[in-house]
């Protein structure tokens, strides 16, 4: 709908958004939801939605995204993508970071989730990851979540 602010839709945004989706009734809206969810499986579409979400969810006038909002957005966005480390990432942030999330961290986390497998064997400590992602990898190792390149946490989803 190209809403400028999270949870706020002007009448114009709402109507134009529905028209762009070809929706002119509640029934058509219901029918379109599975299609919209399936779009999240498309890599390019997911990237567009993920990048849009940062600006959409941050408070007006802020450069960063509030931690609680970022965590909620990651849990929502990765619900369809099923990044196995999302819950550990959120726990790590609450335990160790407790600050707003920068655009750089937001963007780089998607790259991390795409390029580094959940057992971290693809992780390069000398890579150009933001310090927060490097600290997250240390946290996983320190807490025994990753041991010898394997998950020790059976609760992870794939």
Residues 81-140 pLDDT 10s: 779 999 999 999 999 998 999 999 999 999 999 999 888 888 998 888 999 999 999 999
- pTM for the model stands at 0.79
Specify the residue for token string 């979400």.
53
Residue 36 has pLDDT above 90, yes or no: no
How confident is the model at residue 153, as a pLDDT? 57
Choose between 110 and 7: higher pLDDT. 110
> To the nearest whole percent, how much of the chain has pLDDT over 90?
51
Task: State phi, psi for 31 to the nearest 5 degrees.
Answer: -65, -30
Span between the terminal Cα atoms of the chain, in Å: 31
The arithmetic mean of pLDDT across residues 16-42, rounded, is 89
Q: How confident is the model at residue 148 (pLDDT cuts 50, 70, 90)?
A: low
Beta bridge partners of 150: 147
Beta bridge partners of 146: 151
């Amino acid at each position: 709908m190209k809403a400028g602010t999270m949870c706020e839709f002007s009448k114009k945004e709402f109507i134009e958004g529905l028209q762009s989706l070809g929706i002119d009734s509640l029934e058509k809206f219901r029918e379109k939801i599975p299609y919209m969810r399936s779009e999240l499986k498309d890599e390019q579409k997911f990237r567009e939605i993920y990048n849009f979400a940062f600006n959409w969810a941050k408070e007006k006038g802020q450069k960063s995204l509030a931690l609680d909002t970022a965590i909620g957005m990651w849990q929502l966005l990765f619900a369809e993508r099923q990044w196995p480390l999302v819950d550990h990432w959120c726990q790590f942030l609450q335990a160790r970071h407790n600050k707003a999330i920068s655009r750089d961290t937001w963007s780089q986390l998607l790259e991390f989730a795409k390029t580094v497998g959940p057992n971290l064997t693809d992780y390069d400590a000398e890579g150009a990851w933001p310090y927060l992602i490097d600290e997250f990898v240390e946290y996983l190792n320190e807490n025994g979540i990753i041991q010898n390149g394997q998950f020790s946490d059976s609760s992870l989803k794939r």
